[in-house]
């Protein structure tokens, strides 16, 4: 199956800092989604981004499908951004998830 | 309010018992999914359903069963054949397969 690698595994930020999370995948995919999981386990869909760039407030994402990677940018981080960020890629109707990047934002 | 509900939030069972986890959605989505998450790991797909009365195995279907008799409901049964059933179980739906998925709050199952 498709391999999805996320880096870094852990990230500690000071409030107000910017950061970049990376997702590499091993094969061509039909789409790519970014999710945020809060400390209580709820997953929120951040972006559906098979290619190109999208922005939503302080978050933006870029997927370069031909080079098999995607980036998630967090700007002016806030403590509420803490949690685990997952990248998931779809191939043959199935989503495959990476192991996630755990982000901790300190006040 | 539209959304996905899962019940109960916490579930405790003795080894050897089957247990059914509930998932209901009122988003009018055709596709529904079940995932398993173990501590410190990503999600793994158990089963998915593209439409009523149809479902397909995911990557880790052994020891699980599902049904899709209604568009709104996609219950998951964890059978006694599942060797390591203790985990966090998440249900999701999307308007169709391949579209963005929306998740319920999850059920934490503990089997002792």
DSSP string covering B31-51: EEEEEEE-TTS-EEEEEEEEE
Coil vs helix vs strand at A12: strand
Nearest CA in chain A to B39: A99
- Under DSSP, the state recorded for B101 is P
φ/ψ bin of A41: left (φ > 0), alpha (ψ from -120 to 50), beta (otherwise): left
The tokens describing A19, both together, are 């950061």
Model pLDDT for residues B44-94, shown as the tens digit of each residue: 999 999 999 999 999 999 999 999 999 999 999 999 999 999 999 999 999
Q: How many CB atoms lie within 10 A of CB B93?
A: 27
pLDDT of residue B89: 98
Domain residue extents for chain A = 4-106
CB within 8 Å: A33 and B101: yes
Residue with tokens 């595994």: A9
Q: Does residue A1 have a pLDDT over 90? A: no
CB within 8 Å: A48 and B45: no
pLDDT band at B1 (very low <50, low <70, confident <90, very high): low
Residue with tokens 């685990």: A84
- A84: Cα separation from own chain's centroid: 9
CATH topology of domain A4-106: Immunoglobulin-like (2.60.40)
Query: Is A59 near chain B, with CB under 8 Å?
Result: no
CA–CA dist B41, A99 (Å, integer): 5
pLDDT of residue B36: 98
The residues, ordered by sequence, that sit 6+ positions from B13 with a Cβ below 8 Å of its Cβ are B19, B85, B109, B110, B111, B112
CB within 8 Å: B48 and A100: no
CB within 8 Å: B102 and A98: no
Q: Which of B33, B42, B88 sits opposite A99 (nearest CB)?
A: B42
The residues, ordered by sequence, that sit 6+ positions from B67 with a Cβ below 8 Å of its Cβ are B55, B74, B75
Q: How many CB atoms lie within 10 A of CB A25?
A: 23
From A51, A99, A22, select the one nearest B37 (Cα to Cα). Answer: A99
Model pLDDT for residues A46-99, shown as the tens digit of each residue: 999 999 999 999 999 999 999 999 999 999 999 999 999 999 999 888 999 999
pLDDT of residue B34: 98
Q: How far is A15 from chain B (nearest CA, A)?
A: 24
CA–CA dist B54, B34 (Å, integer): 14
CB within 8 Å: B88 and A33: no
What is the rounded average pLDDT for all residues in chain B?
95
């Amino acid at each position: 199956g498709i391999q999805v690698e996320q880096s870094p595994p852990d990230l500690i930020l000071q409030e107000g800092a910017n950061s970049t999370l990376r997702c590499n995948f091993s094969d061509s995919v039909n789409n790519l989604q970014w999710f945020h999981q809060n400390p209580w386990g709820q997953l929120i869909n951040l972006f559906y981004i098979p290619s190109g760039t999208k922005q939503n407030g302080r978050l933006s994402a870029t997927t370069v499908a031909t080079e098999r990677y995607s980036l998630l940018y967090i700007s002016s981080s806030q403590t509420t951004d803490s949690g685990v960020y997952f990248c998931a890629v779809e191939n043959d109707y199935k989503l495959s998830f990476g192991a996630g990047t755990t982000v901790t934002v300190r006040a | 309010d539209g959304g996905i509900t899962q019940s109960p939030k916490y579930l405790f069972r003795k080894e050897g018992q089957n247990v059914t986890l509930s998932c209901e959605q009122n988003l009018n989505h055709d596709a529904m999914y079940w995932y398993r998450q173990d501590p410190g790991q990503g999600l793994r797909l158990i089963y998915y359903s593209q439409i009523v009365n149809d479902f397909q195995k995911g990557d880790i279907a052994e020891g699980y069963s599902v049904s899709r008799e209604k568009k709104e409901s996609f219950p998951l049964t964890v059978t006694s054949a599942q060797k390591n059933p203790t985990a966090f179980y998440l249900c999701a739906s999307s308007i169709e397969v391949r579209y963005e998925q929306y998740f319920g709050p999850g059920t934490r199952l503990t089997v002792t």
